[in-house]
Structure formats: structure tokens, C-alpha cells
Amino acid sequence: MKTVITYGTFDLLHAGHINILRRAKEMGDYLIVAISSDEFNALKGKKAYYSFEDRKMILEAIKYVDKVIPEDNWEQKVEDVQKYNVDLFVMGHDWEGKFDFLSDYCEVCYLPRTEGISTTKIKEDLKQVQR
């Protein structure tokens, strides 16, 4: 069995999220998604619209996702890869090179993002609608 892991906030779920989850799942048999906890988002200076528990529930309902775990800090990735016997780490290409250190523990792959959609763009578009 090939285990794949990816990380993100996964707030305001959109087609880009579904695309990366689908493609990550297609690369293995078991997909783990680590989502940023509310506390970790605060440390990063981010605020998700949905709480960690709501984002977790939404992701668990997606057919491509087998397990959802919290991401509490930047440093836990090596521990997660080892703990869950991960074979492949997947992230969007906007993170290219940032997680290459994980190649000592598993394969690392950066997938192209879905063009024209992002949580940041949705938030900006919603601001325009409210004016």
C-alpha cells in the first residue's frame, strides 16, 4: 500500500482543493490530509473562516481523503512521515523546493495548482461583492 500525505488549511473549499486531493489520491492508495489547527494558523498570522473541527469534518466527507490529522507546527512533517509510514509527500507547486528536505524520508512531489482559483482570490472576490 502506498501512503500519500498533503498539508494545508483547506478553508473555503473549492475546485482547486478537490483537484489536489484527487490527484494526490491517484498517486497512492491511502491519502492523509494534515490541516492547520486554529492555533497554528494564528502563529502564521492567518485566520480561517471555518474552525479546525468544521474543516476536518468537511475533508472527512471527501471520497479521496482517508484520514485527517492536525498540523500544529512547521516541524512536525518529518514526524508525520515516519509515524504514518508515508511514501509520498504532495504539495502545490507554489511550495516548490520548500519541502525537499523530506526526500530523505519519502518521495516529494509538487503538483501544479488549479489556475484561476484560490482561497485568497475567493476572499478578495467576496470583498468586492460586499461593496
Active site residues per annotation:
44, 46
Give the angle 46-52-126 at the CA atoms, nearest 5°: 55
Please count the other Cβ atoms lying within 10 Å of the Cβ belonging to residue 65: 20
* Three cell numbers, residue 33: 490530509
Match 486531493 to its residue by C-alpha cell: 21
CB-based burial label for 14 (10 Å; 0-12, 13-18, 19+): middle
